[in-house]
Amino acid sequence: MRHSSIVGISALLTLSSSAALALVLHEEWSGMVMGKDGSAIHGSATMKAGKEANTTDVMLKLSGDAAAGARPWHVHSGSCAKAGGVFGGGKSYTAVAIDAKGAGESKATLPVALPDTGMYYINIHESATMMAKIVACGDLKKAK
């Protein structure tokens, strides 16, 4: 009798901790990227836990850009309306290579754990020499 209740409790604990783990693994942030100041650039981005512990993978897809080129981009803290600093260190990001059709994609692995609170957004900069000009932006929302 006593033995079976201990087994029951440990089975319950195992079940609840694996359910909690599954929730963590399915956490994801995503958002739509929209051009600013008349730019037709648009796209989508997702941010989720990386394969290694304490890493975050960010995927970005863009289209509608005017011409081939390279667009630096980052996840930043804050929102398109309230700008903040680069999230995860600027070195982790490689510029999006825009092809002749005006589309491109990039992926970054950040050396930080996926956040589960806070506010984040993606911004697309004009070019490496014109970082201050933001051509497209998108707020990231956490999936429930």
Contact positions vs Cu ion (CB under 5 A): 74, 123
Least distance in Å: CB of 131 to Cu ion? 7
Residue among 49 and 122 whose Cβ is closer to Cu ion: 122
Residue among 50 and 71 whose Cβ is closer to Cu ion: 71
C-alpha to C-alpha distance for 31 and 47, rounded to whole angstroms? 9
Least distance in Å: CB of 124 to Cu ion? 8
C-alpha to C-alpha distance for 138 and 115, rounded to whole angstroms? 17
Least distance in Å: CB of 60 to Cu ion? 12
Max Cα–Cα distance, the chain, nearest Å: 74
Q: Which residue is nearest to Cu ion (CB)?
A: 74
Beta partners for 35?
Answer: 136
Residue among 106 and 123 whose Cβ is closer to Cu ion: 123
Backbone angles phi, psi at 134, to 5 degrees: -95, 120
C-alpha dist (Å) from residue 46 to 28, 58, 101, 123: 7, 6, 22, 13
Task: Retrieve residue 29's tokens.
Answer: 């942030």
Least distance in Å: CB of 108 to Cu ion? 11
Residue among 13 and 32 whose Cβ is closer to Cu ion: 32
